[in-house]
Amino acid sequence: MTTAVAVVGASGYAGGELLRLLHGHPEFAVTVVTAASHAGQSLHAVHPQLMALPDRILEPTHAETLSSADLVFLALPHGASAALVAQLPEQVKVVDLGADFRLRNAVAWARYYPGFDHAGSWVYGLPELMDRTEIAAAARVANPGCYATAIALGFAPLLPHVDTSDLVAVAASGTSGAGRKASESLLATEVMGSMTAYKVGGVHQHTPEIEQTLQSLVSEPVRLSFTPILAPMSRGILATLTARVTGGTTLDVYALLQDAYRDEAFVQVLPSGRQPATASVYGSNAVQLQGCFDEHSGRVVVTVVLDNLVKGAAGQAVQNANLMYGLPETIGLSTIGVAP
């Protein structure tokens, strides 16, 4: 028997990716699709790429409608999930792609998400770094952010060997990371042929999430300097991570990455000397990494790419749902990208 699935926020980019991935999933059947401003419109009118799916009218988002589903994916703006979840029956499983339930620290939440009450925290769904048995046993899972996934996966294997109080990440993301809402700064004429940093100075909302994840892996204090960059591409993240090696010794970064992710289906450490490219993972749930030791500066350097809409959002949500239902983690997901 298939699992009845609802997608909330189906008109957005992450919602569209969820529908694309779920269409090929043998165990999950989409029964409800809802939206806010696009409610009443045809799914095909909003997502022309989904013509192979049965056409539906996007319904308004009401808890009563969602209560008929076994599993609900929430692809909503930050701060919008908590009130809706409070109205859902306890037996309905939920994967939230927003930030509402990611942070355990209420003070950090108030600083990085001002204007929204802290709703508490759920099991954090980054399977490669967290306890998979906790995800499998959970009825409610908080899906990680896209930058957070890339940066945490890149730094995690290095933590025992570097100064965790001096982690630096510079990461470029495609415009889809900002969502589908119209914005002057995301117009093609503003973005094409240009790159710009934003939320500079430690104010990006993924900073405490990344620190929380990495802190759960080590006893030493973790401090991250994170600078995000808007890149002229529709999707993808390229993160460059550096950290100072402790003890003044050299470090085989490549071997550490290989050892850490040798058995992970979705994390690919590239052959030595080959750098990851965002186009290589477009449309896939794969993460590609490369690492080396910079003898001149005494720092490690790791580069990471992923598709912010798949492994950074919808794909990871399906990966978590697979675990929650006792299914093979890879069902309905691909590690093969679309290039060029």
Residues forming the active site? 146
* Under 8 Å between Cβ of 217 and 157: no
Query: Looking at the chain, how many residues does it have?
Result: 340
- Nearest in space to 287 (alpha carbons), one of 159, 124, 151: 151
Using alpha carbons, list the distances in angstroms from residue 107 to 19, 121, 205, 285, 312: 35, 13, 13, 32, 25
Which tokens sit at 106?
């209420």
Q: Residue 254: count other Cβ atoms within 10 Å of its Cβ.
A: 19
Three-state DSSP class for residue 131: coil
Which tokens sit at 138?
């959970």
Q: Which amino acid is at 284?
A: S
Three-state DSSP class for residue 211: helix
Q: Which amino acid is at 129?
A: L
Q: Where are the beta strands (DSSP E) in the chain?
A: 3-8, 28-35, 59-60, 71-74, 93-96, 123-124, 140-142, 162-173, 196-197, 224-230, 237-245, 267-269, 287-294, 299-306
- Which residues have C-beta within 8 Å of that of residue 242, sequence separation ≥ 6? 167, 168, 294, 297, 299, 300, 301, 302
Tell me whether residue 188 is exposed, middle or buried, using C-beta atoms within 10 angstroms of its C-beta: 0 to 12, 13 to 18, 19 or more.
Answer: exposed
